[in-house]
Amino acid sequence: MKKYKVGVIGATGMVGQRFVSLMENHPWFELAVVAASSRSAGKPYSEAVGGRWMMQTPIPAPAADLIIMSAETDAKAIADSVDFIFSAVDMKKDEIKSMEDAYAKAECPVVSNNSAHRWTPDVPMIIPELNPEHAAVIESQRKRLGTKRGFVAVKSNCSIQSYVPALHPLKEKYGLSRTLVCTYQAISGAGKTFETWPEMVDNVIPYIGGEEEKSEQEPLKVWGAVAGGEIVPAKSPQITTQCIRVAASDGHMAAVFASFDSKPELGEIKETWKNFSGRPQELGLPSAPAQFLHYFEEEDRPQTKLERMLENGMAVSLGRLRADSQYDCKFIGLSHNTLRGAAGGAVLLAELLCAEGYICYSSEGYPGDCLF
């Protein structure tokens, strides 16, 4: 199979590095371009990241010698040389929106890890197993942008990946009325390691700027519907959250409390989780976990160190399901925040968009000509 040529803009940051590492030996995607700020432009990738490489595996050999381009000034050249890009730039939101729109208008599809476009009404925010149908709004976005190939699609906030996938099939089956969630989030969510953030060693910080708003609002867009050329967010359930930074390198954990329109038995909940799968599993996408939701019966599981890499970091781990005195039930969720929650989730989204014909080879026509 011919591979899609891929660019990563914002390639020197933590999430950008994760994108670069995930492109190594990917069966569908080939890393062709790395781009970053003008400070890094013109340098070989290995030199630019230097001692700042934060992945546990070495810099992939195909990426090491790539010369970094400027994400801003080389946008047209980048767009012309790849089939689509992953966006992981670290800039102000209005600057990110402008940059991602510029790539889309240059007929380059953008799959973004950034939050800047998450509330643009005709930009789909997709968790591939939950709301793949939201990709249909891309056609309306293309009309607005005046493009044939170009568009922007985004993944959701990393923290909601630890609990929204578990709530989704329950919501579909029993109706979800309200939920309370406390998330305990790893330092890599801030783009940090213990070496770069020594203050986090043996520490907990009970505040993450903007995170609670995202955690309460983004699920409603994921659970929304395409209508009138945009995504209309759901009006329910009621969601309240607290988000806490903890001394873990990777892995976001959530303590979840939920009430339903029709209260299920605990055994029914476990069976629903066991049987849930989505479009990525149906299509056999390369990054899709075979079993999306894993439930652990042990009372002390899931644990961050033990479960965060389950199914290459793309599965969601669940445990401690029990009755609650204020809600119908409570449980623990866990996901890997830079894999399922960030770069890995975006790669899975890109695979979905390719498989469904929204991204085609740039030299071989427009959507409808490139299904495989």
Q: Which residues are catalytic?
A: 158, 252
Instruction: Please check whether residue 85 is in contact with residue 120, taking contact to mean a CB–CB distance below 8 angstroms.
Output: no
Distance separating the N- and C-terminal Cα atoms of the chain? 9
Beta bridge mates, 293: 316
Reference 119, options 214, 189, 211; nearest CA is: 214
Q: Rounded to 5 degrees, what are φ and ψ at 249?
A: -70, -50
Q: How many residues does the chain have?
A: 372
Other CB atoms within a 10 A radius of the CB of residue 345 amount to 27
How would DSSP label each residue in 272-292?
HHHH---HHHHHT-TT--SSS
Residue 368, burial from CB neighbour count under 10 angstroms (0-12, 13-18, 19+): exposed
* The token pair that represents 117 in the structure block: 């476009």
Q: Rounded to 5 degrees, what are φ and ψ at 177?
A: -95, -40
Q: At what angle do helices 164-174 and 211-222 cross, to 10 degrees?
A: 40
The 3 state secondary structure assigned to 7-56 is EEECCCCHHHHHHHHHHCCCCCEEEEEEEECCCCCCCEHHHHHHHHCCCC
Q: What is the spatial distance between Cα 311 and Cα 221, in angstroms, rounded to a whole number?
A: 27
Taking 3-state DSSP, the helix, strand and coil percentages for the chain, each rounded to the nearest 5, stand at 35, 20, 45
Q: What is the spatial distance between Cα 301 and Cα 334, in angstroms, rounded to a whole number?
A: 10
CA dihedral 218, 222, 224, 229 (to 10 degrees): 100
